């Protein structure tokens, strides 16, 4: 029966070890990719929610502006003091 030399056996073991390490690293990278994809999806969902909030705020601002214009006429409001400067 033929037998590998110590050097040949070591080469086989080294290649197997490198193969297994490479597979392990591919698995780590894939796990990281999945985690990043989940983070991206959460960020996208948060962004979508913020855009919806922004639309709601803009609608409320428009409604309030219309109400205040009806009550006080057109003008500029100082948000710090509440003073209204009429538009001439």
The answer to whether residue 17 is domain-embedded is: yes
pLDDT digits (tens, 9 = 90+) for 11-63: 999 999 999 999 999 999 999 999 999 999 999 999 999 999 999 999 999 99
Q: Residue 5: what pLDDT? A: 96
pLDDT value at 87 more than 90: no
State the Cα–Cα distance between residues 51 and 49, nearest whole angstrom: 5
State the Cα–Cα distance between residues 85 and 72, nearest whole angstrom: 10
Instruction: Decide: pTM greater than 0.75.
Output: no
Tokens found for residue 33: 């990719």
Q: Residue 1: what pLDDT? A: 93
Host domain of residue 19: 8-59
Q: Sorting pLDDT into bands at 50, 70 and 90, what band is 10?
A: very high
Q: How many domains does the chain have?
A: 1
- List strand residue ranges (DSSP E) for 1-88, in order: 75-77, 84-86
The answer to whether residue 84 is domain-embedded is: no
């Amino acid at each position: 029966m033929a037998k590998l030399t110590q050097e040949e056996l070591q080469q086989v073991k080294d290649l197997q070890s490198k193969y297994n390490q490479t597979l392990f690293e591919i698995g780590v990278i894939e796990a990281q990719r999945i985690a990043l994809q989940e983070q991206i999806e959460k960020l996208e969902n948060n962004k979508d929610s913020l855009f919806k909030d922004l639309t709601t705020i803009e609608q409320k601002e428009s409604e309030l502006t219309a109400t205040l214009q009806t009550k006080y006429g057109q003008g500029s409001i100082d948000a710090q003091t509440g003073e209204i400067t009429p538009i001439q």
